[in-house]
């Protein structure tokens, strides 16, 4: 990989993480506003949603500095986004619904799972570890968001494929490396696969099987 290609891929990775961070922050803000939190609560929930998964990934991979410390300008961007969104929502009386949170969250899921897997592979992690790092990057921010908003994390109770979509999509990055596909193509294909799977699950209403503990239902 020549220096120009490496620069272009590094730029793509940065853009993916920026976009994923902003979409997760938006989903966190919408959820916090739906819970009628104050301005501090909105900013905290947005930050946890945006940075929580990537921070846990960096801790597990012993990767320093944390990505939001290395790019501190993102913190200012997050505060600016919180301000703009809160003012916009108030002025337009935007009706907050659970579905409004799901779509930006689906985009962040795909972007963070792909970039998290790619980062782990670059650190020579085994394939399954890299995939799990992608899932953690994509899912843990939403877990923190739901806990702070006093909800059982939707990834554990919703029965709609969420972490499963990230898990499947992350393997596209691994397959791209196995078949020597361009890194940018594997990254885009993995993110698109995850978003598509999550979108199909939301559109179709498909639910994962639940654990049946009712003895009366046993044959």
- pLDDT at residue 105 greater than cutoff 90: no
Query: Tens digits of per-residue pLDDT, 7-58?
Result: 465 676 677 777 778 778 887 887 887 788 888 888 899 889 888 998 999 9
Helix residue ranges per DSSP H, 93-162: 98-122, 127-148, 154-157
Q: Please answer whether residues 186 and 176 qualify as being in contact, where contact means their C-beta atoms are separated by less than 8 angstroms.
A: yes
Q: Give the torsion sign (CA, 144, 149, 154, 156).
A: positive
pLDDT classification of 90: cutoffs 50, 70, 90: low
Q: What is the mean pLDDT of the chain?
A: 81
Which pTM was predicted?
0.80
């Amino acid at each position: 990989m020549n220096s120009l290609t490496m620069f272009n891929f590094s730029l793509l990775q940065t853009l993916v993480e920026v976009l994923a961070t902003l979409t997760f922050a938006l989903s966190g803000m919408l959820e916090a506003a739906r819970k009628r939190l104050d301005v501090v609560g909105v900013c905290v929930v947005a930050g946890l949603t945006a940075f929580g998964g990537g921070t846990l990934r960096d801790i597990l991979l012993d990767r320093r500095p944390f990505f939001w410390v290395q790019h501190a300008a993102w913190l200012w961007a997050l505060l600016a986004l919180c301000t703009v969104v809160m003012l916009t929502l108030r002025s337009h009386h935007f009706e907050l619904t659970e579905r409004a949170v799901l779509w930006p969250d689906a985009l962040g899921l795909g972007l963070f799972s792909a970039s998290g897997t790619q980062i782990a592979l670059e650190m020579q992690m085994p394939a399954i570890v890299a995939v799990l790092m992608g899932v953690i990057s994509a899912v843990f921010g939403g877990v923190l968001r739901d806990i702070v908003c006093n909800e059982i994390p939707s990834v554990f109770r919703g029965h709609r494929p969420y972490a499963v979509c990230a898990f499947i999509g992350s393997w596209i990055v691994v397959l791209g490396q196995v078949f020597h596909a361009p890194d940018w193509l594997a990254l885009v294909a993995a993110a698109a696969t995850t978003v598509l799977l999550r979108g199909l699950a939301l559109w179709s209403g498909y639910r994962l099987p639940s654990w049946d503990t009712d003895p009366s239902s046993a044959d």
